[in-house]
Amino acid sequence: MASPILNPGQAPEPLLYEQSVPGRVGYALPPLDVPASDPISLLPGVPLRDSVPLPEAGELQVVRHFVRMSHRNHAIDVGFYPLGSCTMKYNPQITEEVVRLPGIADCHPYQPEEQVQGEMALLHALERLLCEVGGMDFATLQPAAGAAGEFTGLLIIRAYHIHQGESRRDTVIVPDSSHGTNPATAARCGFKTVSIPSNERGRVDLAALRKVVNDRTAAIMLTNPNTLGLFEQEIREIAEIVHEAGGLLYMDGANMNAILGITRPGDMGFDVMHYNLHKTMSTPHGGGGPGCGPVAVKAFLEPYLPTPVVARDGDQYRWDHHRPQSIGKVHGFYGNFGIAARAYAYMRTQGGEGLRNVSEKAVLNANYLAAQLSDAFTFPHGTRCMHEFVLSADRQKANGVSALDVAKRLMDFGFYPPTIYFPLIVKECMMIEPTETETRETLDDFGAAMLQIAREAETEPEIPQAAPHYTPVGRLDETTAARNPVLAYNCCA
Amino acid sequence: MNHPTELRYSKTHEWVRLAGDRATIGITDFAQHELGDVVYLELPEPGKTFRAEALFGTVESVKAVSDLYTPLSGEVLEVNAALTEDPGRINSSPYDDGWMLVIRISEPAEVANLLDSAAYEAFTAEQ
């Protein structure tokens, strides 16, 4: 019996394999007008299979399948996406227009320098813009993304210390609120990591820092504003302590969206930093790339930058490969040009005033939203924040509704759930970053949903506990997926 | 939550069952509850020696990866190999099937630093 579907978006979508009908095809070939040959005789020595288990379907079936699947994606183009630490802002369409210009889309990395002077001018100009925003002196656009930028930055720091005859410096300091990639990068580069606790204000504890710095300190890795959305006001003191011990300061640029045009890592005392262009400068997020995580350094570290660098002689640009102290290459050619072009388009369309406005609005939006939630949720470090804030659902948890339940329930309202259970130092935490591109109405809608969920936690906890109620699938069995991952569809099972 | 009185506890949420110079170690009911479903576990090889409060392994749940710390100094005599195969036992049976290590205690005086069940419950209540 047929059953009516209330919302077609909720209907189960069978796999293409499950829709497959033997012999059904989406093409029609003309009759063979050459003698037929046996493939085995054409491909001697090549092992051939009798059949390939691929689904068989018509073109319309395939189109409908993928269009229906695409309707189930959440994206910034569909709705609010307040994923803390990830800066899921809207990327203006102009950046996609720009990268489709023939001079940008149709160039090739093997073209000789004289044919790509314009592209090289763009790369050089983007480096200058990033250095201006970061208060740094030189930059490379090679690293493929943020984590690759961290890797590049720490290799530069290691090369510097070795060159100074201080190869004993084998320790990198990270705060306990740091991004997980920071200690992972340090370990990958052969450093030991030392974690220092945050103080009761959610900032680096200076006394703890003083205790761990010594002649083994290679660097401290910090994010400013930090992962709690708080500005490290004592950054000058931190820089002094680390520099006096002979270590360098590495800035994770993940949270640059809070400080554009307002303050600069280079002025705070950082020696090396990376930028997450997909967060701050409007390039595409995730999906496995391509990406771009530029690294910028102070002048004394310039010799160690990856090779080649874009050199400018008057109006001419060339690849400078003669870099005897360089750490080497970290990407093919000069990184992902199309991503750099998008970031350049974004920075130029915003301009200096526009970039400052980005950060002012990002911080204003976060504070506006935090204020709406301040009575219903716990704010362990207060409600004054930079571009994001961390709240705790500990009061809801007392009624059996965890941060996970709140996040799941938000999906019923059409919102992407915020980051949860990170940073690890706040219990039942939710990390919310609204970004500058959202309207006041969207922020109000999200705030109202959060307050309703807080009321449900008190009166009807079973609603959030069983959420989501209105999505095509509800709570997936993450435990079984992690314990017994099935990574390939077995059509013949 | 269940924190048996015959065990001793650390502030990093490990339990210790003492028998002569031997100690069996695992993580508490409170810890497994906070972690959620455990999906992966890394334990040391027998024969390794640890100082008290040293990192001896990691436990990964659907929520987070956490470090494991030895509450006492000593040498690892036995490791629960079945547990790395089926880490869900940490959730279903934290004090029995969920044991992780047996160590030979090298610094018996450290036992005095551990909490009894009442003190541990008071500690977790503050958390």
3-state secondary structure of A147: helix
Comparing alpha-carbon positions, the chain B residue that sits nearest to A403 is B63
In this model, does residue A129 exceed pLDDT 80?
yes
**d(CA A346, nearest CA chain B) in Å:** 36
Q: What is the pLDDT of residue A385?
A: 96
In the sheet with B8-9, reading across from the earlier edge strand, the strands are B8-9, B14-19, B22-27, B101-105, B74-79, B49-50
Q: With contacts defined as CB-CB under 8 Å, which chain B residues touch A427?
A: 127
Residues of A whose CB is below 8 A from B40: 482
Test A478 with B37 for CB contact under 8 angstroms: yes
The residue written with tokens 């949420």 in the block is B13
User: Mind telling me how many Å the CA of A193 is from chain B's nearest CA?
Assistant: 13
Locus of tokens 């609005």: A361
pLDDT at A482: 85
Whether the predicted pLDDT of B109 surpasses 90: yes
- Strand partners of residue A1: none
Residue A359, C-beta contacts closer than 8 angstroms, at least 6 positions apart: A257, A258, A259, A260, A261, A262, A387, A436
For the segment(s) A93-349, the CATH number from 3.30.1280.10, 3.40.50.620, 3.40.640.10, 1.10.3720.10 is 3.40.640.10
* Cβ atoms of residues A419 and A460 within 8 Å: no
Beta-bridged to residue A252, according to DSSP, are: A274
What is the predicted pLDDT for the residue at A12?
80
What average pLDDT does range A370-396 have in this prediction? 96
Cα–Cα distance measured from residue A123 to residue A104, given in angstroms and rounded to the nearest whole number: 11
Determine contact, residues A204/A425, Cβ cutoff 8 Å.
Answer: no
Three-state secondary structure string covering B46-70: CCCEECCCCEEEEEEECCCEEEEEC
Q: Compute the distance between CA of residue A322 and CA of residue A442 in angstroms, rounded to an integer.
A: 52
B126 band by pLDDT with thresholds 50, 70 and 90: confident
- Pair A185, A147: CB distance under 8 Å: yes
Q: Is B92 on the interface with A (CB under 8 A)?
A: no
Place of tokens 């110079």: B21
Q: Is the pLDDT of residue A1 over 60?
A: no
Q: How confident is the model at residue A479 (pLDDT cuts 50, 70, 90)?
A: confident
- Can you give the pLDDT at residue A400? 94
Q: What number of other Cβ atoms are within 10 A of residue B127's Cβ?
A: 9
- For residue A208 the two structure tokens come to 């703890």
Contact criterion met (CB < 8 Å) for B88 and A479: yes
Q: Does residue B65 carry a pLDDT above 90? A: no
Cβ–Cβ contact B85 with A under 8 A: no
- Residue A9: phi and psi, rounded to 5, are -65, -15
CA distance A465 to chain B (A): 15
Closest-CA residue to B72 (of B55, B56, B52, B57): B52
Helix boundaries (H) for A377-420 = 394-398, 403-412
* pLDDT value of position A48: 82
Peptide bond into A4 cis (omega under 30): no
Tell which A residues from 427 to 446 touch B, by Cβ distance under 8 Å: 427
* Cβ proximity of A272 and A134 under 8 Å: no
Q: Considering CB atoms only, which of A424, A479, A483 is closest to B64?
A: A424
What is the residue extent of each domain of chain A?
A: 93-349
Compute the count of residue pairs across chains A and B with CB atoms less than 8 Å apart: 18
At residue A41, the pLDDT reads 86
- Provide the shortest C-alpha distance from residue B39 to chain A (in Å): 5
Contact A482 B39 (CB under 8 A): yes
Tokens for A76, please give them: 């910034």
Pick A483's closest partner by Cβ from B63, B88, B127: B88
Q: Give the dihedral of Cα atoms A416, A409, A478, A254; nearest 10 deg.
A: 30
DSSP chain B: ----TTSEE-TTSEEEEEETTEEEEEE-HHHHHHH-SEEEEE-PPTT-EE-TT-EEEEEEESS-EEEEE-SS-EEEEEE-HHHHH-TTHHHH-TTTTT--EEEEES-GGGGGGSB-HHHHHHHHHH-
Q: What percent of chain A has a predicted confidence (pLDDT) above 90?
A: 81
Instruction: Output the pLDDT for position B62.
Output: 84
Interface of B with A in 22-61 (CB under 8 A): 37, 39-40
Q: What's the pLDDT tens digit per position in B67-102?
A: 899 999 999 999 999 999 999 999 999 999 999 999
Say yes or no: A43 contacts chain B, CB-CB below 8 A.
no
Instruction: List the single best residue of A420, A424, A476, A479 to mutate versus B (max B Cβ within 10 A).
Output: A479
Q: pLDDT band at A401, cuts 50/70/90?
A: very high
pLDDT tens-place string over residues A31-73: 999 999 887 888 888 888 877 888 999 999 999 999 998 888 8
What pLDDT is recorded for position A9?
A: 63
* Matching residue, tokens 């920075």: A347
CB B14 within 8 A of CB B23: no
pLDDT bucket at A8, cuts 50 / 70 / 90 = low
pLDDT band at A480 (very low <50, low <70, confident <90, very high): confident
Domains of chain B and CATH, by start: 8-107 (2.40.50.100)
Only one residue has tokens 């069952």, namely B17
DSSP A221: E
Rounded CA gap, B28 and B14, in Å? 6
Note whether B62 contacts A: Cβ–Cβ < 8 A: yes
Rounded to whole angstroms, the Cα distance separating A351 from A359 reads: 13
Which residues of chain B have a CB within 8 Å of the CB of A404? 63
**Contact criterion met (CB < 8 Å) for A483 and B39:** yes
Q: Is the pLDDT of residue A191 over 80?
A: yes
Q: Could you tell me if B81 lies within 8 Å of chain A, comparing CB atoms?
A: no
The answer to whether A477 faces chain B, any CB pair under 8 Å, is: no
Chain B contact for A479 (CB, 8 A cutoff): yes
Within 8 A of A408 by CB-CB distance, chain B residues are none
Instruction: Give me the residues of A, 357-416, that contact B with CB < 8 A.
Output: 404
Residues 6 or more apart whose Cβ sits within 8 Å of residue A486: none
Quote the CA–CA distance of A209 and A207 in Å, as a whole number. 5
The whole-number pLDDT of residue A5 equals 58
CB pair distance less than 8 Å for B87 and A483 = yes
CA distance B46 to B124: 31
| pLDDT above 70: residue A7 | no
Query: Is it the case that residue A376 has pLDDT exceeding 60?
Result: yes
Give how far B7 is from chain A: nearest CA, Å: 26
Return the sign of the alpha-carbon dihedral for residues A143, A146, A148, A154: positive
Check if B127 contacts A (Cβ < 8 Å).
Answer: yes
State the pLDDT confidence band at A424, using cuts at 50, 70 and 90.
confident
Pairing, β B38-42 against β B22-27:
unpaired
Strand order in the sheet with A192-196: A138-140, A295-297, A272-275, A248-253, A217-222, A171-175, A192-196
Contact A247, A269 (CB under 8 A): no
Distance from CA of B35 to the nearest CA of A (A): 10
Nearest CA distance, A177 vs chain B (angstrom): 14
Mean of all residue pLDDT scores within chain A: 93
Half-sphere exposure at residue A444, Cβ-oriented, CA atoms within 13 angstroms: 3
Q: Using alpha carbons, select from A480, A74, A90, A81 the residue that is nearest to residue A278.
A: A90
Taking an 8 Å cut-off on Cβ atoms, the answer to whether A421 and B63 are in contact is yes
Residues of B in contact with A429 (CB under 8 A): none
ipTM summary value: 0.71
Selected residue of B37, B67, B69 to mutate for chain A interface (largest A Cβ count, 10 A): B37
- Is the CB of A482 less than 8 angstroms away from the CB of B87? no
